[in-house]
Structure formats: structure tokens, C-alpha cells
Structure 1
Amino acid sequence: MSTRDIVLIALFTALTAVLGAFPPLMIPALGVPVTAQSLGPMLAGGILGAKRGALSMLLFNVLIAVGLPILAGGRGGLAVYAGPSAGFILGWIAAAGVTGLIVERLWSGLNFVTAFIASVIGGIVVLYGIGVPWITAVTGTPLGKTFAGSAVFIPGDLAKAGVAAAAIVLIKRAYPMIRHAHSRS
């Protein structure tokens, strides 16, 4: 792994931490907060590729585990991993990896639509596939009810996938040499 790879991994770890500082958007009718932080894995995977994107989210999880308060709301520490949201936080590793893998495969013909699909599959489908069963396991709530409760976050996550797709395509156009990074990932 090159110094450039390490710097990019650290940069996207830091970006994900900064996204946690944005105040949550409350959905008034439901009282459900939507945070910007889950945008981090989509961006990391889509821009850095599968390997470096997943490593940036792994580093993010390590920093949480050692107690840094870098999650939305200033949370951190091992206790986070005993809670119902831990599946989503750990799932960011796979979300970044899958998003990156899809973007890598589609890189030569990548456009907004394909980048959006990659972000949705990695950042929503894979993430919910890990996070929702985790909530069920921790809380004992039936899986269907857990999914129904989690579904209120999907519109916000779709908006984040759109932002990620726009950023991925913009980076591809602005820095065409990133293709080499994707082919090495």
C-alpha cells in the first residue's frame, strides 16, 4: 500500500467523521433524525474503490471502538457496538466495499445513473441487509416490523445516494487519472 493510499483512506475516514457533525434533519411527522454520516461509505467506496473505501470505514470503526466521539451525536466507544445501530456502523465497511466494487466494474461507462445504482446497492441494500437484522437480534423486534421502522430512512438515503453519485461522476471527470486507482483496488 502506497503513502497515497494511506492518505486517501485517512481522508475519507475524516470526511465521514465530519459528516457526523452536521445536525440531523428531523422528520417532523415521525420524529426520526436523518444524519449525513451514512453518505461517507457511499463516497468512500465510489471514489476510492472497493479496497480503500472499505479500509477507510474499517479505520472509522477502529476509531469509534477506541472511544473517539466521531459518530453523529458525539458517540464513540465499545458500548456503541452493543446497541441496535451497530449493524449499520459495522455495515459501512461492506457498504463501501460493494459500492466501490460496482463502480470499479462500471468505471469506463460510469455516469450518474450507474453511480446512483452503485450507491443504492452498496449504501442502502447491503447496509440495510446488515443493519436491519442486527436491530432485530439486539431488540427482539420481528424482522418485518424492524424493516418497516427503518424504511422511513430510505428517502433520505436515496437523496444521499444522489449526492454520492454526483460526486463520484464529478471526480471521474475532474481527475481522470483516478482510473488507475480503481484498476489497482
Structure 2
Amino acid sequence: MKPRNPIALLALLWASSPAFALDAQVAGALEKALTCQQAPLDARDDAVKALFKANGIVAVDHDEDGLIDLEYHLPKPVEVLGVPISTLWYRGDSGAVFYTQATGDLAAFVGRTGVQPVPKDDLATSGWGRGQYRKEVGQASDDTPFPDAFFVGTDSASPPGTFYFGCQVFDG
């Protein structure tokens, strides 16, 4: 039997090919970094560069001589915390954020992840404008007065049905 659409068949074979599938360990590491369970994957590191190349992840360094300003493009969307993601950002100076933009139901995601609304008085000082919900990961201490925080939110440029989530790391 001849396939009706050979282009569609080739696309299906390409997309399901292990050579183009994101390694489960890499997907797991991205999820752990987005939820503050491990350090972000830093594409400036040679081992991470090799890992990304082997998995078809394209890393763009927007500031090669200065601050952390990296953008990662996955070869195809991967599901993290129940929502598809395909682009991530890792930005830092004094502290850092490792985050992604997802498509889905923001209210359902907030409920699933257990984040809490940031009080309006704290929004201006709690981050960078995309974290209307957050959950501290770890405990504050003398050495770490501001624990890492998992955040969820939108900004004025967010298209309907999209939101950001990720990890904000504070320098002591």
C-alpha cells in the first residue's frame, strides 16, 4: 500500500528518530534546573556544549564577553511539568534566572506546582517582572538570606495561553 503523503511519513520518521529525540537525562536535567533542584546547564562549559550538540540543542550566547545571557532552542518540544517547552533562557549578573516560556493553562499550572501569589507590595522588589507566583526552594540562613525560588508568571508581552516558569537564584 502506497502512503498517501510521503512528506508526512518522512517528517514522522524524522521526528521519532532517536538521533533527533532529546535524551531523557537531558530533559530531566532541564526540568531539575527549571525547578531549582540543580544548577542550570551552562552552555559556556565544554562538556555541556558537547551534550547539547549530541542532542541537537542550539545554544546562542548573546553576550560572549560578559554576563550570562544564553538562549537554548530544543530540536523539538519536550514536556516539563505537564507543559510543552522548546526555548529556555539562562541570564545572570548578581544572581541568575533559568526559565522557559510554556503554552498551557496558567491557573492549572499554578495549582499543580504549589506556587503562591507574590504580595503586590513585593512584586517590584521580588524579581524581574515575570514572577507573579513563587515558591522558595530551601531555607533562608545567614549565608543565604534569599533562598532560590521557583517562579511562574506572565509579562505584558506574553501571548494569551503562554506563561513563564523557572528558577531564580540569588547571590548571598
Length-normalised TM-score, structure 1 = 0.28
Task: Identify, as 1 or 2, the structure richer in strand.
Answer: 2
Q: Who wins on radius of gyration, i.e. which is larger?
A: 2
Task: Identify, as 1 or 2, the structure richer in helix.
Answer: 1
Q: Which has the higher contact order (CA 8 A, sep 6+)?
A: 1
Length-normalised TM-score, structure 2 = 0.30
